[in-house]
């Protein structure tokens, strides 16, 4: 049972959005690590020790399931053929405790839309296999913005470049901050060039199959909608401000 969150100055209790349980795992030789447990033919679990164990366990926990793009080039592979979840969200500055991002109902009945609060943030959620540590690839969720999502769509729907989950296709991405804007550079990488250009070995067939088995299905939600009562609490908060 998740702990309740409080929103705004009124400190009313609102239910936290539910997320799937995350369970760290530590096989002796890991070819696939995800927020959910991925088993490989590594000969069974063993006890990991020391700081290395702490770092690897933390990276496989639910607190670190999101793919973060930085100024440094990140190499990754997409196990699915498109986003499993797409949504818009409202940003509520008046919320003091808990997430300020609220998933829009995407219907005329959305209470926040009805009072004129526009859902401004777009998210397309992709499973990605992060190769930041080539020896310990990790399945993560990338909440991509509209520009990157459109780039990925162009690749996915191109007969020569797509689909996204082509066996021989990997990607790199990095971001650059210019004044107040952030720009992302997304590039395709052929499997044959992966080691020469980025010193990264391609995933084995078994590791890739394990990640594919653990990937989200279309329709799974990263962020659940708040129910009517919880949304009304936020409406009341905004109207009283």
Find the helix or strand (DSSP H, E) in which 100 lies: none
Identify the DSSP state of 66: B
**How many Å apart are CA 76 and CA 170, to the nearest integer?**
6
**How many Å apart are CA 186 and CA 175, to the nearest integer?**
9
With CA atoms as reference, report the closest residue to 38 among 49, 30, 28, 46.
30
pLDDT for position 99:
87
How would residue 182 be classed by pLDDT, with cut points 50, 70 and 90?
confident
The pair phi, psi for residue 53, each rounded to 5°, is -65, -40
- Where in the chain are the domains? 66-240
* 127, β-bridge pairs: 141
**How many Å apart are CA 145 and CA 164, to the nearest integer?**
17
The pair phi, psi for residue 63, each rounded to 5°, is -70, -10
Helices (H), 13-145: 50-59, 111-114
**How many Å apart are CA 10 and CA 94, to the nearest integer?**
11
Number of other CB atoms surrounding residue 215 within 10 Å: 20
Query: Counting runs of H as helices and runs of E as strands, what totals does the chain give?
Result: 6, 10
**How many Å apart are CA 8 and CA 157, to the nearest integer?**
44
pLDDT at 55 over 70: no
pTM value > 0.85? no
With CA atoms as reference, report the closest residue to 80 among 224, 223, 219.
219
pLDDT for position 194:
96
pLDDT at 3 over 80: no
Tens of pLDDT, residue by residue over 88-142, are 999 999 998 888 999 999 999 999 999 999 999 999 999 999 999 999 999 999 9
Q: Which two tokens stand for residue 173?
A: 């991405």
Angle at 107 between CA 106 and CA 109, to 5 degrees: 130
- Tell me the helix, strand and coil percentages in the chain, rounded to 5: 25, 25, 50
* 187, β-bridge pairs: 172
- Cis bond leading into 104, ω under 30°? no
How would residue 179 be classed by pLDDT, with cut points 50, 70 and 90?
confident
């Amino acid at each position: 049972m998740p702990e309740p969150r409080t929103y705004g100055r009124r400190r009313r209790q609102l239910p936290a959005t539910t997320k799937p349980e995350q369970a760290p795992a530590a096989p002796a030789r890991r070819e696939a690590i995800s927020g959910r447990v991925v088993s490989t033919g590594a000969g069974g679990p063993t006890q990991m020790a020391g700081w290395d164990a702490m770092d690897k366990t933390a990276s496989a926990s639910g607190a670190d399931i999101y793919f973060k793009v930085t100024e440094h080039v990140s190499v990754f592979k997409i196990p699915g053929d498109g986003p499993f979840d797409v949504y818009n969200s409202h940003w509520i500055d008046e919320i003091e405790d808990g997430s300020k991002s609220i998933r829009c109902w995407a219907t005329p009945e959305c209470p926040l839309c009805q009072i004129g609060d526009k859902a401004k943030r777009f998210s397309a959620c992709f499973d990605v296999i992060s190769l930041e540590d080539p020896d310990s690839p990790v399945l993560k969720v990338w909440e991509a913005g509209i520009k990157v999502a459109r780039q990925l769509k162009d690749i996915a729907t191109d007969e020569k470049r797509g689909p996204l989950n082509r066996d021989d296709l990997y990607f790199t991405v990095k971001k650059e901050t210019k004044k107040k804007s952030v720009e992302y550079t997304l590039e395709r990488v052929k499997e044959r060039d992966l080691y020469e250009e980025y010193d990264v070995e391609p995933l084995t067939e078994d590791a890739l199959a394990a990640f594919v088995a653990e990937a989200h299905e279309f329709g799974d939600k990263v962020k659940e909608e708040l129910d009517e009562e919880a949304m009304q609490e936020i409406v009341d908060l905004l109207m009283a401000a």
